[in-house]
Amino acid sequence: MEALTQRIDALWTEAQDIWLSGGWAMVAIAVIALAMFGMGTHIYFRLRATGFRAVDETTWRRWISHPREREGRVGEMLDFVTGGRSITETANLFDQLRSTETLPFERDLKVMKICVSAAPLVGLLGTVTGMLATFGALSSGSGGDKTMALVAKGISEALITTETGLVIALPGLFFQYQLERNFERYKAFLAHVESACMQAFQRDAIRAGRVAVQRAAKRRVARELYARWAANRARGAAPTAAHRPDPGPAPTPAP
């Protein structure tokens, strides 16, 4: 255990020496690395928080027609988009959902992409400044140990910054690619949900239209039947007093 601790301390000291020998560009690369991986971690956990991969298609399709069973982030999303009273209103709700759900991810991924591109460029800039320091030492020195130390420092700065920029950019590039794939899956999920909700809304509208037509037909038939019944009743009514037969003379009372 003690040997492992000493080994870790030695590696840490060596890393510090290498980092400090890279010059001012190492500070800029460190800031870029923190921003890039911090943004990537934020995107990763936000995508996980959506919960779209934890709910299978059969479940959320059932939630469309059974609102009481909805739960989680996907359930809240369905509660929001199924509140429209028409297809146009539902489409507008989905546009609002895409604006609130996808635009922050697109913005953060652009920032991460800029950081991935900037890391090797800053390393290359450190390489240029290191080579300039090397040529300055060669032109001003007399060839002694001091000159060789300045030359070695310039070359070290030139190489370390380039290496560090590439070491930061390569994992960031793969991380960004994985996050973009997950984000594309999330957008496909939203498009799939929109299509399913529109189909369900159309089915409900068609069913409601059929029910309305059936009710109207029943009311029309009921009115026709009532009109016929009223007409038959009027024709079968008792004759009036002018057309009644004469009952004859009234009988005389007995003496």
Averaged pLDDT, 45-68: 87
Q: Which residue has the higher pLDDT, 164 or 23?
A: 164
Tens digit of each residue's pLDDT (9 = 90 or more) over 173-191: 999 999 999 999 999 999 8
Residue 95 burial (CB count, 10 A): 11
65 pLDDT above the threshold of 90: no
Which residues make Cβ contacts (< 8 Å) with residue 147, sequence separation at least 6?
A: 137, 138, 140, 141
- How far CA 84 is from CA of 5, 78, 94, 132, 152, in Å, comes to 63, 11, 10, 66, 70
- At 59, the amino acid letter reads T
Is pTM beyond 0.75? Reply is no
Compute the mean pLDDT over every residue in the chain, rounded to the nearest whole number: 80
The tokens describing 27, both together, are 């500070």
Domain residue spans of the chain: 2-234
Only one residue has tokens 């069913």, namely 207
Q: How far apart are CA 253 and CA 255, in angstroms?
A: 7
Query: What is the widest separation between alpha-carbon atoms in the chain?
Result: 176
Q: What is the H or E stretch that residue 210 is in?
A: helix 145-235
The tokens describing 65, both together, are 């027609």
Q: How far apart are CA 184 and CA 102, in angstroms?
A: 10
241 pLDDT above the threshold of 50: no
pLDDT for 255 equals 45
Residue 86 DSSP code: S
Worst-scoring range by mean pLDDT, 69-78, 154-163, 174-183, 215-224?
215-224
193 pLDDT above the threshold of 70: yes
Of the candidates 76, 74, 94, the residue with the CA atom closest to the CA atom of residue 84: 94
214 pLDDT above the threshold of 80: no
Tens digit of each residue's pLDDT (9 = 90 or more) over 113-153: 999 999 999 988 888 888 877 777 777 765 666 667 777 77
> Residue 215: what are its φ and ψ, rounded to 5°?
-65, -40
